[in-house]
Amino acid sequence: MENNQNIIEVNELQTSFFVGGKEVKAVDGVTFSVPSGKTLGLVGESGSGKSITSLSIMRLIAEPGKVKGGEIKFNGENLLDKSEGKMRRIRGNQISMIFQEPMTSLNPVFTVGDQIAEAVMIHQGLSKKEALKKALEMLELVGIPSPKARLKNYPHELSGGMRQRVMIAIALACRPELLIADEPTTALDVTIQAQILRLMRNLQDELGMSVILITHDLGVVAETCDYVAVMYSGKIVEYADVNSLFANPKHPYTVGLLKSLPRHDIDQEGELSTIKGMVPTPDDMPKGCRFAPRCPFARDMCRESLPHLEEEENGNQVRCWIHTDKWDGPEVNVKHDYESAASQQS
């Protein structure tokens, strides 16, 4: 069945942190949507605002941060207009989140069973006993061996991979419509990563939910996602279905990311191998395109003014002067010319 309704639509989302009298625009006009039942990959270097985007959707931005503007339409209703009480009934129930750090994301003083049961008790009003039965089912579902015994374990008695499975069990206990997974596997070793991703994919099929998968790893995106949003410095620079993105990337940053793919798991902090320079800091945010200082194709117009996110006929979007009529430079094929242009970059 063709279903092109979007479960969530984020429009011009703006989230800032106010530190030392200054405003840090962590998320600066982010727009994307996730079609029902599909998986959106949200990719970008460290600090580009992926986690802050997802926490904004959950309305879990804490002081000194603040969602300043935009809208987040979930099933057609703007989450930013909801009262805290209404929002709480959505969290962990209709929208769930899994975090990057399985080692620290579970409360050390409660048993695994209690922590899964809590979500069910809150949202489905089950008794403790029924909730624990449900917790047991969830542990089975996420493939934890001898689940009955594990129910009574404390988090420190489990490995990182097991804890992430528990996190997934908590997130899925109430059968959410949307799961946001913020780098669910970065902290785990490679074999476990594959297991967890496979588990998530199977559960998605089983429960028919939509997923936003945040990751550094384009390899993971290729395997799991239907759509991809590439973030750079608080903005979406490219949004495309996964096939188009890999076959025909439009934004120079996306191309740079793709070129650096083989090294993804070694070097996350430092410079990406084929993108020169560093992510801009809030203090010297470029006036024009945020990527201009690192872009091998950048011209004066790129440094002067910020391009819009332009939609193409197929619904894909890109934020780059090259793909507009205003482009005043020579004809470029971003994908083909990237390498040679990059090698001439000083």
Partner 1 sequence: MLVYIIRRLLQTIPVLLGVTILVFSMMHLIPGDPAQIIAGESASETQVEQMRERLGLNEPLVVQYGKFLGGVIQGDLGNSIRSGNPVSAEIGARIMVTIELAVYSTILSIFLGLIAGIVSATKRYTFWDTSIMIVALFGLSMPNFWLGLMLIQYFALPPLQWFPVSGWGTPGHIVLPVITLGTAGAAIIARMTRSSMLEVINQDYIRTARAKGVKEKYVIYKHALRNALIPVVTVVGLQFGVLLGGTVLTETVFAINGMGRLVIDAINARDFPIVQGSVLVIALLFVLVNLIVDLSYRFLNKRIELD
Residues that bind partner 1 (CB under 8 A): 58, 60, 84, 88-93, 96-97, 99, 101, 104-110, 118-119, 122-123, 154, 156, 167, 170
d(CA 252, CA 276): 12
- Residue-level length of the chain: 346
**Residue 227 C-beta: closest distance to partner 1, Å:** 23
Residue closer to partner 1 (CB basis): 103 or 207: 103
Q: What is the dihedral of CA 217, 223, 228, 231, to 10 degrees?
A: 0
Q: Rule CB under 5 A: is residue 51 a binding residue for Mg ion? A: yes
Q: If we measure between CA atoms, which residue out of 158, 89, 100 comes closest to residue 124?
A: 89
**Residue 339 C-beta: closest distance to ligand ATP, Å:** 26
What is the identity of the amino acid at 300? D
- Give the DSSP H or E segment for 136: helix 128-141
* 332, interface contact from Mg ion, ligand ATP, partner 1, none, CB < 5-8 Å by kind: none
* 19, interface contact from ligand ATP, partner 1, Mg ion, none, CB < 5-8 Å by kind: ligand ATP
Q: Which two tokens stand for residue 276?
A: 């020169």
Under DSSP, the state recorded for 79 is G
Count other C-beta atoms under 10 Å from residue 86's C-beta.
11
d(CA 116, CA 167): 8
* 109, interface contact from Mg ion, ligand ATP, partner 1, none, CB < 5-8 Å by kind: partner 1
**Residue 234 C-beta: closest distance to Mg ion, Å:** 13
**Residue 114 C-beta: closest distance to partner 1, Å:** 10
Residue closer to ligand ATP (CB basis): 93 or 224: 224
Q: Which two tokens stand for residue 99?
A: 């975090």
Residue closer to partner 1 (CB basis): 188 or 289: 188
Count other C-beta atoms under 10 Å from residue 227's C-beta.
23
Only one of the segments 47-55, 170-178, 249-257, 322-330 lies at the binding site for Mg ion (rule: CB under 5 A); that segment is 47-55
Residue closer to partner 1 (CB basis): 91 or 134: 91
Q: Give the interface with Mg ion as residue ranges (CB under 5 A).
A: 51
